[in-house]
Amino acid sequence: MVKSFPYQLYLVISEETCVHNHFLTVAEQAVKGGVDLVQLREKNTSTQAFLQKAFQLKEVLDRYNVPLIINDQLEIAQQVEAYGIHVGTSDIAPTQIRENWKNLQCLGYSIEDIQQLDTLESKTADYLGISPVFSTPTKIDTITEWGLNGIQQIRSMTDKPLVAIGNMNIQNTYEVIKAGADCIAVVSAICACRNPATAAEQLRNEIEKA
C-alpha cells in the first residue's frame, strides 16, 4: 500500500502513441519537464515485446527516481519490479492482484461509473482513475465522461487520491484540479508533442496555479 500519493503529473505512454520521438526519449524528456509518475500501457504488442519495453523504460526512470506503473499485466509488473499496476473494471480484479503480489506498492483502478466507487475493488486501490474525464480519441471503448461535476461528486465521496484521465490538456488542467483531482494523467498532451519537456512543463505550471 502506498502511504501517500505525491504524484501530480502522470504520463501514460506506449510506443505507438509517441509519433515524433522514440518512446524512451519522450519519457525522459517528459520527466525532465515535470512528469513524476509513468505508466507503460501497451495494447498491440506481444508479451515479450511489452516486457522488453518495460525493462528499458524502467532503466530510464530509475535514473530520475520516477516510479513505473504497468498497465494490466501483473506478471510483467512483477518481473520488472515495477512500483505498481493499473487496471480497469474489466481486467484482473484489485483484490486478486493483492493476493498475488504481496509487496505491491501502488495499485491503480479506473472507475467509469459511480456504482463502481462503493465496491471492495475500489477500496482496495491506492488511487482511483477517473476515466474518462472528457471523451478522447485515444480510448474509444468508454461509456460516458465524468466531466467536472463527476470529479466533484467522487471527491465528496472518497479520500482516495484521484487521477483524472481522458483528453487532459493545458486548457482544462486547472479546472480539473480545482474540481478535486489530485493528479492529471495524459497520453496525447505529451506523447503527440514534438517537445515533450515543454509540454510537461506547461501542464505542471497549470497544476501549480490551481
Min. distance of Cβ 46 from ligand TZP in angstroms? 20
Minimal CA–CA distance to 207: which of 3, 36, 60, 24? 36
Q: Which of residues 46-75 bind Mg ion (CB under 5 A)?
A: 72
Q: Which does 201 bind (CB under 5 to 8 A by kind): ligand TZP, Mg ion, none?
A: none
- For residue 73, the one-letter residue type is Q
Which of 53, 58, 139, 204 is close enough to bind ligand TZP by CB under 6 A? 139
Q: Which stretch binds ligand TZP (CB under 6 A): 20-28, 54-62, 130-138, 150-158?
A: 130-138
Q: Is the Cα dihedral 163, 166, 170, 174 positive or negative?
A: negative
**Of 65 and 67, which has the nearer Cβ to ligand TZP?**
67
Q: Which of residues 148-177 bind ligand TZP (CB under 6 A)?
A: 165-168
Q: What does DSSP assign to residue 139?
A: B
- Give the list of residues 6+ apart from residue 76 with CB closer than 8 angstroms, or none: 47, 50, 51, 54, 70, 82
Min. distance of Cβ 87 from Mg ion in angstroms? 5
Q: Which stretch binds ligand TZP (CB under 6 A): 28-36, 93-101, 116-124, 186-194?
A: 186-194
| Cα dihedral 168/177/71/112 (nearest 10) | -90
**Of 179 and 183, which has the nearer Cβ to Mg ion?**
183
The grid coordinates of residue 3 equal: 502511504
Q: Does the annotation list 138 as a binding residue?
A: yes
Per-residue CA distances from 171 to 31, 61, 148, 203 (Å)? 21, 27, 13, 9
Per the annotation, where are the binding residues for Mg(2+)?
72, 91
Residues lying near ligand TZP in the complex (CB under 6 A): 12, 131-132, 136, 138-139, 165-168, 186-189
